A and B are shown apart, each in its own frame.
Chain A
Amino acid sequence: MASITYFALISLPWWFLVVITFLVSVMLPTNDFGAFLSGFLGIGLLWLVLTWKIDIETNSILSQKIADLFPAGGDTTMLVIVAALVGGVSGGFGSLFGNLLRKIWMKKPKSSMY
């Protein structure tokens, strides 16, 4: 999930991560909690790693200024966490929604097997 999102977002707008987590969950069956968690962690960790890497590699050149500008207490780690949460929540819900939709679609064929 994370790697598809990574490659997709090189050229696509950010909200494709919602589409991707949604599609992945439509295809890979799991329970609702698992779906949310995989979306949340998949994207959240991806964004955590990517932003953290940028923050460190650039000596917080811009993240420090943005952290001062927004109510993040001037702490770039906080900014990294906020970014991860934004990505995580978006991914989590995309994934959960995908899972719920699959279950509604799959319900009929599934029940007919019994």
Chain B
Amino acid sequence: MKVIIFALTFAITLAITIVFSVKISTIPPLGKFFNPQGGFWANSEREAISAPNLVKLEGLKDEVRIQFDEYLIPHIFAKNDEDLVFTQGYITAFHRLWQMEFQLYSTAGRISELLGDGALDYDRGKRRHGMTYGARKTLEQWKEDPEMFKLIVAYTAGVNAYINGLDYSNYPIEYKLLDYEPEPWSEYKCSLLLKEMSDVLSRGEADLENTNALKLFGRETFDFLFPERPPLKDFDPVIPIGTTFDFEPLEVPEPDTLYPLVFTNPILGKPDPNNGSNNFAVGPAKTGGGALMANEPDLNLNLPSIWYIVHLNAPGINVFGATLPGMPGVIIGHNDSIAWGMTNAKRDLVDWYRIEFRNINRDEYKYDNRWLKTEKIIEEIKIRNGSTVYDTIIFTHYGPVVYDRNFKGNAESTNLAMRWTAHDPGDELKSLYLVNKAVNYEEFTSALQYYFGPPQNFAFASVNGDVAINIPGKFPIKWKEQGKFILDGAKSSHDWIKYMPEDHKLRVKNPPRGFISSANQHPVDSTYPYYTFDYNFEHYRGRRINDRLNILNRVTPEEMMKLQNDNFNYRAFESLPMMLDSLDTTSFDDQKLRVHRLMKSWDYFNNVDSKAASFYELWWKKLYGLLWDEFDDTEVSVIKPHIYNTIHILKNYPNNNFIDIKSTPELENAHELFERSFSEAIDSLNNWVTASGEDYSWSKFKNTRIIHLMRIPQFSVDQISIGGNSNIVNAASGRHGPSWRMVVQLNDQGVKAWGVYPGSQTGNPGNPRYAHMIEDWASGNYYEMLFPVKPLEDPEQILFSQILQPN
């Protein structure tokens, strides 16, 4: 009996110890997790910063001082560049380690390792479109530039110095919830992060959908639905109209094109088409002296935030701004002399080539009269608590064959290889590091020659009053419509042959209008001798910004902030009067009349408490859905015409065939569509009000929310009281919006900056300052940033000081 009890107790003790040590389904290991000395309790912080004041670290050359200001922004003072970026890596990891690592698990297609086979398709997609392939090539190129590479090595060493000082108790909470450990950082991870930025910003395209649409609708209809440019009256490109181009363009021969019209379905996930940004800078003519610059990248809003703000100071460098956790240097910011900001310079940089394999072994593919060899790479995807999945990816000289018999392709017939500039190596880090140190426009432009992608509209302003915009990047020279549809991989005439020379790239300095701006619109008018196509240029934010800047004078920093937070709905301004005028109100009931009056009296501002903004959005959604109902039941993937062209068609072609609703026997015109969508929107509004129990003021209806990367609601913030929307300068929509707002003033007094972002420096949900800036961000409040040239002495300004010393 005693032996049985003994054995039983032994078994239970062992079982408890094991069960409390492993993660079961989504439940973290209970013993580990609830342990007050090591588990999640240890992530509860009493102070905004709890860290030792003095740390000795292997790998430093000299002493480094770090001072955190009241917004937890680290001001790093080092004695040389390597120590500076070492410390940047160390401090970024201190606040954001889990995010740095997790986002690259995603980039490298390794999410299955953490979450199991539910993420397998996602991981395969990432690997198939060549994220790791591009990152490996970039790393190889970096190694050939020892001066730059040693900084990447130093950054890596800094991150690892932080990781090596950790044990389970001070792992970020997310490691404990998912029960895994940080792995060592590497230079390769820095290059992966660079590729992630390209993935977010330069992989957007619609070549396959365009091909499908061309085949479904025919050429004439296709051009009607998807014009490349708006009419001149609404055309306001990044490079002001009237700018002249003084060079002899390189030619690429345009073949007699016969596109391979193959249907593809389904299609790989794409980056959010709303990814975009605004920047603008005004020169002395508009300010009365000096320059002002504003920039905000509009991206998916997550916690921890995509940006981490730092101040880097060492002999020869003094730079402040937004960094990407995982990459050395400042991405968007200013130094003592210049400020720069970015918006995505959209351009079709992904092309798809139909590949004709010689046989099912897929060892060779056709290229003119030859057969070229393929290369096969076997990707190994580990799955948590499971087996390893292998995926063979065929590589051609274009790039990976993404769609084939093993992945989303239709049996043997659809083999599509992807050509993408991000597959090529680039020196963006070197470029940005030189920008960090540039003191004038010449140095800035010279630094950008190394910048390949993702192409950006780089706004520039300097203390001497210069303002400029440059669009650097690696741009293949394309014949008209090259890559708008699937190309023929067997024809060398469809290949990319030449790339744009540096001095043919777009730039403009101190244009006559006195300001520069960009908002993801068309880069330039047709006098530019190169083909600059993208399927998704923005049509509203840029025009609003330019309308305002054209009339503003004596511009102040406050004025710049006001414009960044501008809620004017250009779309509504251009569509609502037409929609309202068309309604026949004689048969309206009370509610319809009330809503009609509300809409009539709206000033077109999507302010927080506007009810009209909510109704407009609902009405528009119904209208857009009814109008393009033809696109809902196509058997292949197609995209619907963009909003600008939708409004253009409704205004100018009210009896077009597409306006008819296919499911009804009658033939509808625009007027009937407006009436019907208005009624449907009223019903839908009533449903929303009943379901939510809220009034339908805009911010409540829109529900801007910032979601933790693991989608844990308790670590996320929702119902943020902010106006704006996509296509509005204040581009805060539901999950998307201004991820870092910055305004910089540059004049003979020096440089002064204001900034705010929807999140916090700390990424720890157990920190009292977690997500603390969101409210100020939503209300349009900015913080004046500290930018000392030497360590701060006023203790009032320093929240916490840390000294790092070589060991």
Chain A residues within CB distance 8 Å of chain B = 6, 9-11, 13-15, 18, 22, 47, 50-51, 54-55, 57-59, 61-63, 65-66, 68-70, 82-83, 86-87, 89-90, 93-94, 96-97, 100-101, 103-104
In the assembled complex, B36 has its CB within 8 A of some CB on chain A: yes
Q: B127 contacts the other chain (Cβ, under 8 Å)?
A: no
Q: Are B766 and A61 neighbours in the complex by a CB distance under 8 Å?
A: yes
Q: Does B9 contact A (CB under 8 A)?
A: yes
- What separation, in Å, do the CA atoms of A59 and B715 have in the docked complex? 16
Taking a contact as CB atoms closer than 8 A, the residue among A59, A68, A97 that contacts B10 in the complex is A97
Q: How far is the CB of B43 from chain A (nearest CB, A)?
A: 6
Report Cα–Cα, A4/B36, bound state, in Å.
Answer: 15
Given A13-B32, A83-B41, A90-B16: A62 and B173 interface contact (C-beta under 8 Å):
yes
Q: Is the CB of B168 within 8 A of A58?
A: no
A23 to chain B, nearest CB (A): 13
In the bound assembly, the distance between CA atoms of A66 and B712 in angstroms comes to 10
Set B5, B21, B768: member contacting A100, Cβ < 8 A = B5
Query: Which residues of A are found within 8 Å of B765, using beta-carbon distances?
Result: 62, 65
Which residues of B sit under 8 angstroms from A22, Cβ to Cβ?
13
Q: Are A50 and B37 in contact (CB under 8 A)?
A: yes
How extensive is the interface on chain B, given as a class?
35 or more
A89-B40 Cα distance, complex, nearest whole Å = 19
From B20, B27, B38, B45, contact of A58 by CB (8 A): B45
Collect the chain B residues with CB atoms within 8 Å of residue A50's CB.
36-37, 41
Contact B714–A10 (Cβ < 8 Å) = no
The 4 A-B residue pairs with the shortest CB-CB distance in the complex, in nearest-first order: A62-B766, A50-B36, A65-B714, A14-B35
Measured CB to CB, the nearest residue on chain B to A71 is B27
Given contacts A66-B714, A93-B9, contact A87 B44 (CB under 8 A): no
Are B17 and A18 touching (Cβ within 8 A)?
Answer: yes
Chain B residue nearest to A48 in the complex (CB):
B36
Asked whether, in the complex, the Cβ of A9 is within 8 Å of the Cβ of B40, the reply is no
Cα A96 to Cα B642 in complex, Å, equals: 71
Q: Is the CB of B766 within 8 A of A14?
A: no
Contact of A69 among B13, B712, B767, B770 (CB under 8 A): B712
- Complex Cα gap A104–B3 (Å): 8
21 A/B residue pairs, CB under 8 Å, sorted by A:
A9-B37, A11-B167, A14-B31, A14-B37, A14-B38, A14-B39, A47-B34, A51-B36, A54-B36, A54-B44, A58-B44, A58-B768, A61-B770, A68-B713, A69-B712, A83-B35, A83-B39, A89-B16, A90-B20, A90-B31, A101-B6
The answer for the CA separation of A86 and B19 in the assembled complex, in Å, is: 11
A104 and B2 contact, CB distance less than 8 A: yes
Q: How far is the CA of A10 from the CA of B44 in the complex (A)?
A: 16
Q: B185 to nearest A CB, angstroms?
A: 24
User: Could you say which residues of chain B place their CB within 8 Å of the CB of A100?
Assistant: 2, 5-6, 9-10
Contacts of B712 in A (CB 8 A): 69
Q: Is the CB of A54 within 8 A of B10?
A: no
Contact of B31 among A6, A15, A54 (CB under 8 A): A15
B233 at the interface (CB under 8 A from A): no
What distance in Å separates the Cβ of A49 from its nearest Cβ neighbour in chain B?
Answer: 9
Query: Chain B's nearest CB lies how many Å from the CB of A6?
Result: 8
Q: Is B6 a contact of A14 with CB atoms below 8 Å?
A: no
Q: In the complex, A68 Cα to B765 Cα: how many Å? A: 13
Known pairs A58-B46, A66-B714; A9 contacts B38 (CB<8 A): yes
Question: Shortest CB–CB separation between residue A86 and chain B, in angstroms?
Answer: 5
Which B residues touch A103, using CB under 8 A? 2
- A86 with B12: CB separation less than 8 A: no
A26 to chain B, nearest CB (A): 13
B768-788 interface mask toward A, CB cutoff 8 Å, 1 = contact, 0 = none? Answer: 101000000000000000000
Separation of A104 and B9 alpha carbons in the complex (Å): 13
Q: Which residue of B lies closest to A89 (CB)?
A: B16
